[in-house]
Amino acid sequence: MSLTSDLKSVTKSVTKNWTAQRKREERDSRARYSRAQYMQSDRVYQKDVAWSVIPKAYAKASSNGKYPAHARQIFYAARPEIQKRTGRPLQSVYFTQHLLPMYINEHPEAAAWWIVYDARGRLIEPHTDEQIPLGTLEVNNYLLSIGKHEVVGFDFHEAFDTDYPTKGPANRMSAVLFIEKEGFNELFKAVKLAERYDLSIMSSKGQSVVAARRLVDWLCDVGGGVPLLVLHDFDKAGLEIAQNLTTVSEAARESDRVRYEFRNEINVIDLGIRLTDVEQWHLEAESVRFKGDFGPDSIVTSDEQAFLRSNRRVELNAFASEDFIKWIEAKLKEHGIKKVIPDADTLADAYRRAYLIASINRHVDDFLDEARDEADEVQIPKRLAARIKKALREDPARPWDAVLADIAKEDLDEKAC
């Protein structure tokens, strides 16, 4: 074997791992982190770094606990420092499903942090139809309400509801806010976003389903509906959601994949993250492999296409909670979204109705003391449980308290005769 051949063989053997890693790097930009790790002599564990970073990340994402923060928002706040100090990529699932819960379990003071995880299913109570999403905060709030629940005598004050009856957008909604992902409801609830702007908030994971498009078609038509505000990530999928929620793409029509044809022209406003928002709010981009292409009817600008083709995207979760609300409210004000006040005829009708209810409720208040005294002195019927059991055998779908209410009414009617 010649000296040249020997040198080639040795060089190839020594650089084998480096060459393989370099090829992986060319295939995937994330492999750069693995190369940095390969060059490090001392391994720095993500858990060790995370334990010092997580408190700061939570404080940043939640504005020091002022607002609820989604687990992915904390991930975005923690990721830059953890990746810098470890030289390795930090995956969202590993952080949100392992590191963050592990940290909270090992630090009792963190148990009170206001952290939101996506709900995975829901519990529905019988008869009340109350629905409890199976997310961390939702379950905590439900259990807290159970612990505080107490029936205190006759705890009602008004016989008639004073709300003006509405159904749908008329006299109630200023707009429909569609957000392409779930997990922000707790934040919106905390700042009363829906109430302060009279918004109906609709969320979805991924591309909108036919039911969502049909609902939008009826609620948001230009001819008399309310605006549709679309909130989405700055990535190819998010921008396609913003466009396809109210239109049919050329590709879908050409391939006969149209699942819903809109009957109305939709009053749609794109409120999602665009490149100008990324630059203005200094939002951190995430490395992700770009796939596919943009259609000729795409709403994405050439600069935005170049950004996304460079294997980057920016999620809504990149915002800290307080900044996220400020950003949304600025866009709502920009597009003139504000509280609903009905027309003069509706106000006149609502006033007469409210006046009538106030008059009735005043008389109810006058009568309430007398009725309460009578109820306090009433003789509890014998074999009450047996009567309820008998009624439930005849109609097992009814709840016990509805049967009891019927028994009380029957006894009162007999007494009045």
Residue 275 has pLDDT above 90, yes or no: yes
* The pLDDT of residue 246: 83
Contacts of 402 (CB under 8 A, 6+ apart): 127
pLDDT in tens, 88-111: 999 999 999 999 999 999 999 998
* Residue-wise DSSP of 137-165: HHHHHHHHHHHH----SS----SS--SPP
* The pLDDT of residue 141: 83
The percentage of residues in the chain with a pLDDT greater than 90, rounded to a whole number, is: 54
* The pLDDT of residue 18: 47
Contacts of 18 (CB under 8 A, 6+ apart): 38
Which range, 120-134, 179-193, 246-260, is most confident? 179-193
pLDDT band for position 213 (cuts 50, 70, 90): confident
CATH class of 175-334: alpha beta
Q: Which two tokens stand for residue 296?
A: 């000729």
Residue 297 has pLDDT above 90, yes or no: no
How many CB atoms lie under 10 A from the CB of residue 237?
A: 16
Q: Which two tokens stand for residue 199?
A: 């918004």
Residue 120 has pLDDT above 80, yes or no: no
Residue 9 has pLDDT above 70, yes or no: no
* The pLDDT of residue 14: 46
> Phi-psi category of 84—alpha, beta or left, where left has phi over 0 and alpha has psi -120 to 50?
alpha
Alpha helices in 209-309 (DSSP H): 210-219, 236-244, 250-254, 275-281, 302-309
* The pLDDT of residue 381: 93
More confident residue, 287 or 204: 287
pLDDT band for position 157 (cuts 50, 70, 90): low
* The pLDDT of residue 226: 94
* The pLDDT of residue 41: 35
Residues 123, 89: Cα–Cα separation, whole Å: 37
Residue 191 has pLDDT above 70, yes or no: yes
* The pLDDT of residue 147: 85
Every domain of the chain and the residues it spans = 17-114, 118-157, 175-334, 344-416
Closest-CA residue to 260 (of 216, 219, 202, 307): 216
Residue with tokens 């007999």, as numbered in its chain? 414
pLDDT band for position 372 (cuts 50, 70, 90): confident
**Summary mean pLDDT of the chain:** 85
Q: Cβ distance 137 to 186 under 8 Å?
A: yes
Residue 230 has pLDDT above 80, yes or no: yes
Tell me what the mean pLDDT of segment 57-76 comes to.
96
Residue 3 has pLDDT above 50, yes or no: no
Least confident of 27-36, 117-126, 268-277, 316-325: 27-36
pLDDT band for position 328 (cuts 50, 70, 90): very high
* The pLDDT of residue 301: 92
Residues 318, 299: Cα–Cα separation, whole Å: 22
* The pLDDT of residue 242: 84
Tell me what the mean pLDDT of segment 64-93 comes to.
94
* The pLDDT of residue 155: 58
